[in-house]
Structure 1
Amino acid sequence: MGIQTSLDALHTADRLIDAMRLADDLAFEAGRTGGVRTIRILAAAIASDDQLTAIAATHALAEVIDEQVDGILSALLSSERGFLREHAASALGSRLPRPDTVGRLIGLVSGGGFGGMVAQRTLEQWSPQVPDLVAVGLEGALLGVREPAARYRLVETLGLVRGRVATRPLLAIAADAAEEERVRVAAVAALGQRRGHRSIAGVVEQLAVGDGFLAQAARMALVDLAAGSDQNGRPDDGRDDEPRERETGGLTVAQLFLHADIDAGLTQAGSGDNGGIATLLVRLGDELVTGDTVDRVLTLSRGSVAGALDSVAAIAGSDTGHLYGRIPLLSDPVPSAEAWPLRVAARRGIRRILRASGGVDMLHLRMADVGSLAAADVARELDIPVVFTVAPDPHAVIQSLDLAGSLTRWNFGDLDEREHFWFRSRLVQELAADAAHTVLFPRPNLETDMRELVGIDVTAHPERHTIVPEGIDLEVVDRAVAEARSHAAGDAPSAALVELRGLVEALPEERRGLPLIVSVGRFHRVKGMATIVFAWASSDLKDRANLLLIGGNLDQPSPDEREQLGLMDLVVASADRAAAGLLLPGHQPNDTVARWVAAARFGLPGLSAAQGVYVCGSLKEEFGIALLEAMGSGLLVVAPNGGGPATYVRDGDTGFLTRTWDAALLHDAMLSALDAAAREDSDERADRSRATVEDSFTIQAMARSLSEVYGDVHDDEVVLHDWSLATR
C-alpha cells in the first residue's frame, strides 16, 4: 500500500474505530518500508493536531529499524502532550535499550499514573538485557526523590530488575527505619520474590514481628519466599516445594475482578466499581460448584494484606467449594481507570493465590483492565490456560462517543489519557489471541460487530468461540416479587420494604402516589446516571414519576461518583432532591435492591403507585444483569439499542430500546414506557418479561454452558500436554 497511502487512509477514516484498526496497517507498512522518508512522514504525523493519527504514527514509528527512531521516541518522553509521552513509553518496549531513554523512563515512573505504569513495563522488559543500567539509574533517581509515593514507585520498579544488583539496595531500604513505611513495604514485597540470597529471609523475618502494615507485608513476603519463586515472581525450576496434589477429580476455575470488594453477601454492590460483575461472579461461582465438572471456584478481588494471608490459608486448605481470594494492592481503593499503576502488586497477589491453591485448571478473564493484564502474565508463567470473555469494550464506548460528537480525532489523545482507549483496545485483542477459548455475549450483529469494532473474525475458527448469555438467580427475584406483591395486597412490609417506605415518606405530600422510575448501577459516566436525571428532571417526566437511583458510595464518593453527583446537582440541587422527587439512597445489598425493584412494579400502599418502570442509561451495556433482574420482576424496561439488551428486550413489548446517550431520545423512551405501563390491566406482559429470563438467562443456564466450555478446554489441554511429552 505504501506508507503515505496507509497514513492517508487512517487520516480520512469516517469512524474513529476504523482509524484505530487502520493503525495496524500503518505499523505494518512502516516496518516493511522503513527508510528516511518513512521516518520523516511519520514524524510529521506525530507533530500534527490530529491526535489519533499522532498516536498511530508513534506506534508505527517503533516498527522502523533505525537508530534515528530511538532518538525521536526518546524525545517524545519529554513531550508537552501527555498522551504522546504515554504512547512513546509503551512503544519503546519493542526497541533496544538506550542509556538516555532509561533516565527519561525512570522520570515517568517517578511521576506515576498510567504513563508511569507503561514506562515501568518497558523498563521491566529491558532489565534482563541491561540490569545494571536500569538498577543504577533507579538508585540514582532515589537519591534525588523524597516524595514517598514517588519513592514507592521507584523501589517497586527496582524490585523488577533481575540479578543481585538490585538485591543490596532493596535490603538496605527494607531495613532503614528512617525510610517512610510504604517505601519499605515496596522493598519488602520485592524481596519476597527473591530466593538464594542468605540475607533476605533473616531481614524479612525480623520485620515480620509486630502488627503494623510493614510487619503484615513482611509476613506476606515470607509466604512468597516459602512458595518458591525467582526474583521476578516466576517459578523457580530448582525448588523442592511443588504445589500439593489435589484430592478431587473436578476442575478448579479462577475468576477475578480486582476493582471490587466481593463477598458472598454482596454487601458492597453498587459502590464504586462494585457493579453487576461482582453480583455475577458470586452467583456464578456458587452455581458452578453444584455441577459435575467444577469442584472449586476461586473468586479473586481486592483486599487487605491481613485478608490476603487469611485467604491463602483458606484456599490452601480446601479442594472444593466457592472460595474468595484477596489480592492486596498495597494502596487505597481507586477507580478502575486509575488502577493501572497497581499492576505489580496485582500480579504478585494473583500468583500467590494461584500457587496456594495447589493447582488451577483454568483462569477466566472478563475485561481489559489491570487485573486481566496482571493475571495474563501469571497465567503464562504458571502455564494456566485462559478463557477470555470478549466484548467490544472500550470499542462500543468509542463508537457511542464518536456518534455523539464528544470524541473526535482532534481530542482523542486528551481523552485517551484518562480512559486509555488505545491500550485497552489492544489488550482485548492480545487477550483474545492468546486465550485457549473465548466466550462471547449475544449481540444482534455479533459477527459484524466483532469484526468491525474489535477486529476479530469469529468465523475463522468457530471452535474457539462459544456464545454464553449472562444469567441471574431467579429465586432471589421471585422472593422479592412475592414480598412486594404481598405488601401491595395489604400485608406488613418486609425489612427491606420498610427502608424503601422510609425513603418515599421523606418526599413532599404532593409527590406521594406517583410511580417510581428506578435504575440500579454504579455512578459512572458509562452508566449514564446523570443523563437519566437530566432526561427526567428537565421535562414533564418529573411530574409523572419519582426517580430512584440505587448505587454509589455517597459517604465517600470516588472521583467518578463525584463527577456524576456533580452533574446531577446541576440539574437538581442536592438540597432540592426531595422536593423534586429524586431519591439517592446510595448502594444497597443485592437482596435489598431486588425487593426495591419489585416494589416499583407493585407500588407501596399510601406512598407509591404501581406500574413503575426500569431505566438503563448506559452508553453501552454488554449484557445487563440489573436489566435482566428488572425484567424478571416483571417491570417494563428502557435499554440501550445495542449490545446484549437488544437481543432480549422486545422493543415496544417488554421494553423500549433507544440511543441512551441522547438525553432527548432517552426521555422519549422513558415517557413511552410510563405510558405503556399505565395502560396495562393484567400480568400478561410481565409474565412474558419473566419468561424471557427464565427461558434463556438464568445463572443455572450460564453455569451449565460455561462448565461445558471449561471441560472442553481442560480436555484439549490434556491432549496437548500428552502430545508435548510424546514429542520430547
Structure 2
Amino acid sequence: MKRSRPAPAHAGQRPRRSGRALTEPFLAVRAGHWGRAADGSTGWPSAPNLLAELVRAEYHRDGPAAPGPPALASPQDLVLAGLRRRLRLGKAPTPAECVRLLLEGGDHTRAAVFDAWPDVVRLHGPARAQTALRAGLRAGRAPEAVPQMLDLAAAAGLRPLTRTELAGAASAPASGRRVRHAAWRLLAAMGEHSLIPGVHVAGDAYERALLAALGGKPPIGPDPTGTRPGLLVAQSMLMGHLDRPGEGMSGGLGVLLGSLGDALADTEAVAGVLTVVTADLAGLEADPCLVRRRGRGHWVLRIPVDSDHQIRPEETGEHREAMTWWATVLLTSLRRPVDVLHVRYADDGSLALAEAARRAGTSLVFTATPDPHRQMTERYGAPGADPLALRNDLHRVFLADRLVERADRVVGIAGRDGGAAELVRYFPQLVDRCAGGAPSAPPEGIPPYLPPAHGARRRGVLLRAIDDAAAPDPEDGRAAASVLLSVGRLHPVKQQDLLVRAWIASGCHRRAVLVLVGGGPHSGDPVERMMRARIEEALCTRPEARRRLLLLPALPNAEVRMLERALADPARRLSARYVCPSAKEEFGLALLEAMEAGLLVAGPLRGGVPHYVADGRNGLLVDTSTSLTLGEGLTRLLAVDDARAAVMAARARSLVRSTYSSAAMARALAEQYAAVTASRAAPAGRPLPAAPPRRGGHAHGA
C-alpha cells in the first residue's frame, strides 16, 4: 500500500529539532509512529481524556497503549482508530471488512474506506471485492451507504448487481436520488448505456449535466487547452466562490488563486491553468457550462455538486464519490491531459480530487499546513473539550496524512527562514520523503493593486460612512475617533465576535471606530447568522458602542484595497490601523494587502503571520486567544503614535512589494510543477496509474 517515490529535486533545509516538538504529547505520539522519537505516550493527563484515548488507539503500532480500558472512547471510535492505524502502516483491510465498515461506521469511517479502496482491490483482487459489495448491497442495511458501494464498484469496474437489479436502482424514486445517480454511473462503467435514461427525464440542472456527461458529452463548452506548449495545470478552490471574498466560505484563498492562475498562465512553462471550483444547483441553473474563460490562459472548471447551496468543507464527505467521478470525467475530457493538480486544503473534497488525479494519470501536489495539528493538545487535552470537534479535527489530520501519502510532491508555506522546516514537526513522515530535509516552500503573494471601476465614487461612499461613525459625539463629549479596520469572512476562526468584545472591554470603543468588512448583505449562511448574533450579543453589554461599530458587507477585493489605501493616506485627519483577530492564520493574505496599502497592522501570534511580521518593527503580534489579551493588543496598536506608525508601515509595505507578489509565487510554482512532472515521467519503483480510456475526447467511465 505504501507508494515508493523518488526524493524531491529540492529537499530544502534540514529541519531544526525542537524539544517542544518531542514533549508536546500529540506531536510526540505522531513522531513515535513514524520512528522519529520514543513512544511519546508520556505527558498525557492521568485522568480519563478522550484525546489521549483516541490518539493511543490510532497511532500505537501494536494497538491501544493505554493503562486500562477506554473510559470515554466508544467502540465505533476504536474501530475507526484501528482502521486509520492500519492504513498508515500500509495494511489494507479485506473487501468484506470494508463493506462491514461502510454499513456500520459513520461518515469518517466511510471516508477512510473510500481512500483505501484502490489498494484493497489491488491487493485482494476484483473477484473478492465484487463478492463483498454484492453481499453488502443485498443485505438491505444502511441505505446511506448504498450510493458509495455502487460508486466503489464503478471505480474498480465491478458488477455487484445483475442487470435487472441495477436497472431497478437506476429508476429509484426521487427519495432515492443519490442511489439513482450512483446507479447511472455504474451502468456507464459497465457499458450498459441503454439502461441510462436520456436527458429529457432530468429533473433539474444537475441531472441534465450528469446525463449529458454519461452520454459522453459533458457540457464543458469550447476546449480550453489551446495549442500553446507547456504544462496544463489545475488548482483547486472548493471553498466558497472565486470572485466573492468575504461571503460565506469565500475568503483570501479565492483572491490568491484567482491572481495566481492569471500569473501562472503568463509564465513560459505553463500553457494554461484550470481553477477547479464547485457548482451547486442554483449555479448550474444560471450557467450549465462547466468551463469558462477567466483570463488569457486561465479557465474556471466547475464540478457539479448535487446540493441546493454552496457546500462547506465539512459537507464534502457527503459528495466525495460523485465529486471524484465528475473530476475524473472533466480532467479526461479535454483535448490534452492535465499535467498537474494542486490541492491546498485537507478535507474530503481534496481527497476526492486526489483520487481523480490518480484515475486520470495526473500528478498531484499538496500544500500541507499544521492545521489543526499545532493546537490539538492545547484545545482538547483538558476536561470539557468538545468531543465532536475533536473527532472532526482527528479526521482532518488523517485526511492530511493521506494527501501527503498520495501526493507526488508536498510543499509548505514559507516560514521565517524561507523554507518549511517547521512542517516536519507536524508531519514526521516528511523526513523520509524529503531525504532528511524539509519540503520546499514557494512564496505566497498578492497581485498588484488595480483601482476598481468607479473607484472615486465608491471611495467617497465608504469614507463618508466611516467618518460619520468616527465623528465627535457632542452628547458625551467624545473626540473624533481613530479607525480600526478588519476584513474577513464572518466565521468563528476569524473571531470578529471576540474582537468586538475585546474592543468594548478594553475601552478602545471610546477611542476608535471599529469597521468590520465581511459577510453577505442578506446571507442565509447559518455560520454568518451565528456570528452576527454573537456580535449583537457583545454590543448589548455596552449600547453606546453600537454607534462606533460599522459592519459592512463583503466588498470586491479591489474595493477593499482601495479603501485601505484611502485610510492609510497621511492627508486624512483620522489615523487608521488594521487588525486581524483570527485564532490563527496559516498565511494571512488580507493582512498582507493591508501592509501593502500602508496601514500599520496587528496580527495573531499563532500561525504563519510571525513569518513576516516582526513585532514592533513592521507591525504588532497579538495574542488572540482571549478577549483580554486581544484587548491588550488593541490598546498597544492604538498607542503607537502616527510618526512611529508611518515608519513601521513603510517597512511593511516595502517587504510585501519586494517579496510577496503573485508573480514571484507563480514562477516558483511553475518550477515545482515542471520538476514533479519530469520526475513522474521516469518513476522509481512506482507504476503510473492507468488512465481511463479516451473515446472521441470524452471519458465514458471512471
> In which range does the TM-score fall when normalised by the shorter chain?
0.7 to 0.9
Q: In structure 2, the residue corresponding to 1:442 is in which secondary structure?
A: coil
Deviations along 1:186-233, one digit per CA (max 9) or x if unpaired, are 4334444x1423xx3452326556755434432232237999xxxxxx
Q: What's the counterpart of residue 593 of structure 1? A: 560
Cα distance between partner residues in 2 of 1:13 and 1:673: 34
Deviations along 1:469-528, one digit per CA (max 9) or x if unpaired, are 21112323xx47996xxxxxxxxx422541453466478862893222111122223223
Could you tell me how far 1:158 is from its partner in structure 2? 6.7
Alpha-carbon contact 2:153-2:159 (below 8 Å) kept = no
Which one of 639, 657, 681 corresponds to residue 694 of structure 1?
657
Alpha-carbon contact 1:89-1:105 (below 8 Å) kept = no
Q: Which moved more, 1:454-463 or 1:276-285?
A: 454-463
Q: What's the counterpart of residue 634 of structure 2? A: 670
Alpha-carbon contact 1:507-1:581 (below 8 Å) kept = yes
Which one of 408, 413, 434 corresponds to residue 436 of structure 1?
408
Q: How does 1:287-306 map to 2 (within 5 A)?
A: 287-304=263-280
Which one of 334, 337, 349 corresponds to residue 359 of structure 1?
337
Cα distance between partner residues in 2 of 1:57 and 1:453: 17
Q: What's the counterpart of residue 237 of structure 1? A: none
TM-score normalised by length of structure 1: 0.76
Cα distance between partner residues in 2 of 1:246 and 1:429: 36
- Letter in structure 1 aligned against 2:233: V
Pair 1:422 & 2:387 matched: no
Could you tell me how far 1:115 is from its partner in structure 2? 4.4
Q: How does 1:327-726 map to 2 (within 5 A)?
A: 327-331=303-307, 332-357=309-334, 358-398=336-376, 402=378, 406-408=379-381, 414-417=387-390, 420-444=392-416, 449-455=422-428, 456-457=430-431, 460-461=434-435, 465-476=439-450, 479=451, 493-499=456-462, 501-502=464-465, 505=468, 510=473, 513-553=480-520, 555-573=522-540, 579-602=546-569, 610-676=574-640, 678-680=641-643, 683-718=646-681, 720=683
Could you tell me how far 1:716 is from its partner in structure 2? 3.3
- Letter in structure 2 aligned against 1:292: E
Change in 2 beyond 3 A, CA 1:247/1:574: farther
Q: What's the counterpart of residue 105 of structure 1? A: 102
Cα distance between partner residues in 2 of 1:641 and 1:723: 41
Cα distance between partner residues in 2 of 1:319 and 1:520: 26
Q: In structure 2, the residue corresponding to 1:301 is in which secondary structure?
A: strand
Change in 2 beyond 3 A, CA 1:457/1:686: same
Q: In structure 1, the residue corresponding to 2:581 is in which secondary structure?
A: coil
Cα distance between partner residues in 1 of 2:157 and 2:61: 25
Could you tell me how far 1:296 is from its partner in structure 2? 0.2
Q: Which moved more, 1:176-185 or 1:698-707?
A: 176-185
Deviations along 1:218-257, one digit per CA (max 9) or x if unpaired, are 2232237999xxxxxxxxxxxxxxx999632121111002
Cα distance between partner residues in 1 of 2:166 and 2:595: 56
Q: What's the counterpart of residue 56 of structure 1? A: 55
- Letter in structure 2 aligned against 1:322: H
Cα distance between partner residues in 2 of 1:641 and 1:376: 32
| Structure 1: gaps of 5 or more residues | 1-11, 30-40, 70-74, 228-242, 484-492
Cα distance between partner residues in 2 of 1:723 and 1:163: 25
Cα distance between partner residues in 1 of 2:403 and 2:146: 32
Could you tell me how far 1:152 is from its partner in structure 2? 5.7
Q: In structure 2, the residue corresponding to 1:356 is in which secondary structure?
A: coil
Greater relative contact order, per chain length (Cα 8 Å cut-off, separation 6+): 2
Q: In structure 2, the residue corresponding to 1:516 is in which secondary structure?
A: strand
Change in 2 beyond 3 A, CA 1:588/1:365: same
Alpha-carbon contact 1:363-1:384 (below 8 Å) kept = yes
Could you tell me how far 1:161 is from its partner in structure 2? 7.1
Alpha-carbon contact 1:395-1:425 (below 8 Å) kept = yes
Change in 2 beyond 3 A, CA 1:544/1:534: same
Deviations along 1:585-626, one digit per CA (max 9) or x if unpaired, are 232221122223333324997xxx522111112222221110
- Letter in structure 1 aligned against 2:678: D
Change in 2 beyond 3 A, CA 1:684/1:439: same
Change in 2 beyond 3 A, CA 1:160/1:247: closer
Cα distance between partner residues in 2 of 1:517 and 1:122: 49
Could you tell me how far 1:704 is from its partner in structure 2? 1.8
Could you tell me how far 1:684 is from its partner in structure 2? 4.3
Alpha-carbon contact 2:420-2:441 (below 8 Å) kept = no
Alpha-carbon contact 1:248-1:319 (below 8 Å) kept = no
Alpha-carbon contact 1:254-1:300 (below 8 Å) kept = yes
Pair 1:196 & 2:187 matched: no
Cα distance between partner residues in 2 of 1:259 and 1:120: 21
Q: What's the counterpart of residue 236 of structure 1? A: none
Q: In structure 2, the residue corresponding to 1:374 is in which secondary structure?
A: helix
Cα distance between partner residues in 1 of 2:472 and 2:185: 59
Change in 2 beyond 3 A, CA 1:589/1:433: same
Which one of 220, 238, 263 corresponds to residue 213 of structure 2?
220
Q: What's the counterpart of residue 238 of structure 1? A: none
Which one of 242, 253, 271 corresponds to residue 233 of structure 2?
253
- Letter in structure 2 aligned against 1:520: V
Q: In structure 2, the residue corresponding to 1:258 is in which secondary structure?
A: coil
Alpha-carbon contact 2:98-2:113 (below 8 Å) kept = no
Could you tell me how far 1:408 is from its partner in structure 2? 0.8
Cα distance between partner residues in 2 of 1:722 and 1:247: 33
Could you tell me how far 1:394 is from its partner in structure 2? 1.9
Which one of 176, 179, 184 corresponds to residue 180 of structure 2?
184
Alpha-carbon contact 2:277-2:303 (below 8 Å) kept = yes
Q: In structure 2, the residue corresponding to 1:654 is in which secondary structure?
A: coil
Change in 2 beyond 3 A, CA 1:209/1:559: closer
- Letter in structure 1 aligned against 2:603: A
- Letter in structure 2 aligned against 1:219: A
Cα distance between partner residues in 2 of 1:631 and 1:465: 27
Q: What's the counterpart of residue 16 of structure 2? A: none
Which one of 276, 297, 300 corresponds to residue 324 of structure 1?
300
Q: What's the counterpart of residue 488 of structure 1? A: none
- Letter in structure 2 aligned against 1:166: L
Change in 2 beyond 3 A, CA 1:569/1:158: farther
Could you tell me how far 1:655 is from its partner in structure 2? 0.8
Change in 2 beyond 3 A, CA 1:103/1:655: same
Q: Which moved more, 1:537-546 or 1:555-564?
A: 555-564
Deviations along 1:14-49, one digit per CA (max 9) or x if unpaired, are 4433234335569999xxxxxxxxxxx9xxx9x993
Q: What's the counterpart of residue 4 of structure 1? A: none
Q: How does 1:25-40 map to 2 (within 5 A)?
A: none
Alpha-carbon contact 1:258-1:371 (below 8 Å) kept = yes
- Letter in structure 2 aligned against 1:525: P
Cα distance between partner residues in 2 of 1:152 and 1:96: 20
Q: Which moved more, 1:545-554 or 1:210-219?
A: 210-219
Pair 1:21 & 2:31 matched: yes
Q: What's the counterpart of residue 230 of structure 1? A: none
Change in 2 beyond 3 A, CA 1:642/1:722: closer
| Structure 2: gaps of 5 or more residues | 1-21, 689-702
Change in 2 beyond 3 A, CA 1:373/1:439: same
Change in 2 beyond 3 A, CA 1:226/1:125: farther
